[in-house]
Amino acid sequence: MKRVAFYGGSFDPVHDGHLRVAEVLTELFELDEFVFIPAFHAPHKRGKTVTSPVCRYAMIALATNDLPKIKISTVELNAPEKPYTFETLLKLKNKLTDAQIFFVMGADSWEEITTWREWKLVLTTVDIIVVTRPHFEIEFSHVSEEIRERIVDLRESPQPAARNRQSKDQQIYVTDAVCLDVSATEIRQEIRAGDNHWRELVPPQVAKYIEKYELYI
């Protein structure tokens, strides 16, 4: 069975934190594909100004072009009227009937998961991978008992449990295989402030694109 992970977000811009998550999880979970899903406009970020989807897509394409298993989906860009993750996951599940599907989120998204539309459906439609992030504790008290029962904490016993675990219920894996202190907010702020440090946080081809099109100034 094909194993495919999807990674939703604004990616404004895509950075080394996202890319490291993609590379490490592809290895750890023996994925056939790891797919970025840039949001048309992340529902929880309404009201904030977000760079155009075309530019955000282009930056992910530049960053991942040499990585054969890492791809991009336009599923959310093509359906801006259906912005919620549960809608995207149901669509993907119906389309990829012969695949094991994972949805990946960082610890900050996990922390606010109960504010997402149909969050229980998000956590039970496909397998979930929660990735640690500096400054964010991973707590489980905000989700219900039936959800908690599905948590597989790989921080205690890494590697093999991620692979061939069979269960009819969807699992929620928690991993600290990646813990990089990079955020898109920090990158945007540094660019605006004229601080060059941000170049160390994105691939060189993304840095070039940001400069060429004068993003985040």
Binding site for ligand ATP (CB under 6 A): 9-12, 17-18, 21, 105-106, 108-109, 131, 133, 178, 180, 182-185
CB closer to ligand ATP, 108 vs 146: 108
CB closer to ligand ATP, 32 vs 186: 186
What is the number of alpha carbons within 13 Å of residue 77 lying toward its C-beta? 16
Q: Minimum CB separation from ligand ATP for residue 98, in Å?
A: 26
Q: Minimum CB separation from ligand ATP for residue 96, in Å?
A: 20
Rounded Cα distance, 1 and 128, in Å: 17
Are 210 and 191 contacting, i.e. CB atoms less than 8 angstroms apart?
Answer: yes
CB closer to ligand ATP, 134 vs 204: 134
Q: Minimum CB separation from ligand ATP for residue 39, in Å?
A: 8
Task: Measure Cα distances from 40 to 61, 137, 157, 200, 205 in Å.
Answer: 16, 28, 37, 27, 23
Are 117 and 18 contacting, i.e. CB atoms less than 8 angstroms apart?
Answer: no
CB closer to ligand ATP, 30 vs 181: 181
